Amino acid sequence: MSEVFPVKPGDWLASNGDDTRVAHVKDVFADRSGIAVNLVLYDVNGERIGRQSPICGGPRTYEPACDFAYWHRINAPHFPLQMKWMPDTDHHGEPVFIAKYDTGPALPNRQWIRPIRISRRLPSLTLPTNNVEIEIASLRRAAQEIRDLSRKHNMPEMIARAVELEKEADALSQ
């Protein structure tokens, strides 16, 4: 099952709040609250900041599991960011201008589908090599399951069917 995300690793984001923060997406994933992103944070001069939240034994070079709702996608910024007068609204809804670092216009979200990762490890099983061996193994397993169910549900008449299956497996193995 594939998941669709609004950003992909390598995209640039800017914060939605009054404090302008810029970040590079390290990873994106779904969690209980929605879409979360691991972000490499940068200051206005283009220097990596590292983690700003309490570390508590986690990564130190990036900010893990940030809620995507507080960020928007932007083009790659040109550092150092320039301070500009930007239109905004005050607490009464009146238009005002505030000094803010310019990160450029917000870009629309992507429809990125995370590729399914397939493990390259092979299980350490030895599988039968031909159909007869598979059939013998299936018959023996069915006989064992019938024996287990007959013990569990106190049905001794089922043991006869398990014995028949084992005799059939023995006949095939010869």
Q: What is the pLDDT of residues 49-99, one digit of tens each?
A: 989 888 788 889 999 999 999 999 999 999 999 998 888 877 788 888 888
Question: Per the domain annotation, does 121 fall within a domain?
Answer: no
pLDDT value, residue 132: 82
Q: Both 9 and 47 in a single domain? A: yes
- Identify the H or E element spanning 1: none
Parallel, antiparallel, or unpaired: how do β-strands 112-113 and 95-101 relate? unpaired
Burial degree of 103 (CB within 10 A; 0-12, 13-18, 19+): buried
In this structure, are 51 and 108 located in the same domain? Answer: yes
- Asked if 64 and 90 sit in the same domain, the reply is yes
On whether both 94 and 144 belong to a single domain, the answer is no
52 & 88 share domain: yes
The DSSP bridge partners found for residue 87 are: 97
Q: Say if 124 falls within a structural domain.
A: no
Judge whether residue 47 has pLDDT over 90.
yes
**pTM listed for this prediction:** 0.62
Which residue range forms the structural domain that includes residue 148? Answer: 131-173
Q: How far is CA 125 from the centre of its chain?
A: 28
In a domain, 36, yes or no: yes
